[in-house]
Amino acid sequence: MTKPPKTGESFQVDCPHCGRSFEADMLGGSSERNRGFKCPHCRLFVAFAAVAEQDRVEPAE
Ligand SMILES: [Zn+2]
């Protein structure tokens, strides 16, 4: 269902830590677990896999 994200693509993300949404580019990682975003509000790392599972991420235009 979810196609593998590409590093550098922009996404609209709902941060599971602080609950605010932001738009950010995917950060690369050597493994799937390391891919995700840095929340500009709380500065915590948001793992792509975690937000994808909860439907909290969608591609941004
Ligand atoms: Zn946050």
CA of 52 to the centre of ligand 1 (A): 15
Q: Is residue 15 part of a domain?
A: yes
* Model confidence pLDDT, tens digit, residues 12-32: 999 999 999 999 998 887 787
The pLDDT assigned to 56 comes to: 97
- Residue 41, pLDDT > 80, answer yes
Q: Is residue 10 part of a domain?
A: yes
Q: Is residue 2 part of a domain?
A: yes
Q: Is residue 36 part of a domain?
A: yes
Q: Is residue 46 part of a domain?
A: no
CA of 30 to the centre of ligand 1 (A): 23
Q: Is residue 61 part of a domain?
A: yes
User: Residue 7 sits in which domain range?
Assistant: 1-23+30-41+56-61
The mean pLDDT of the chain is 89
By CB neighbour count within 10 A (0-12 exposed, 13-18 middle, 19+ buried), where does 47 fall? middle
- Residue 2, pLDDT > 60, answer no
The pTM (predicted TM-score) of the whole model is 0.81
Q: How many distinct structural domains can be found in the chain?
A: 1
Torsion of CA 8, 5, 59, 49, to 10 degrees: -120
Q: Is residue 7 part of a domain?
A: yes
The pLDDT assigned to 3 comes to: 59
Task: Let me know: does 11 contact 38? Beta carbons within 8 Å.
Answer: no
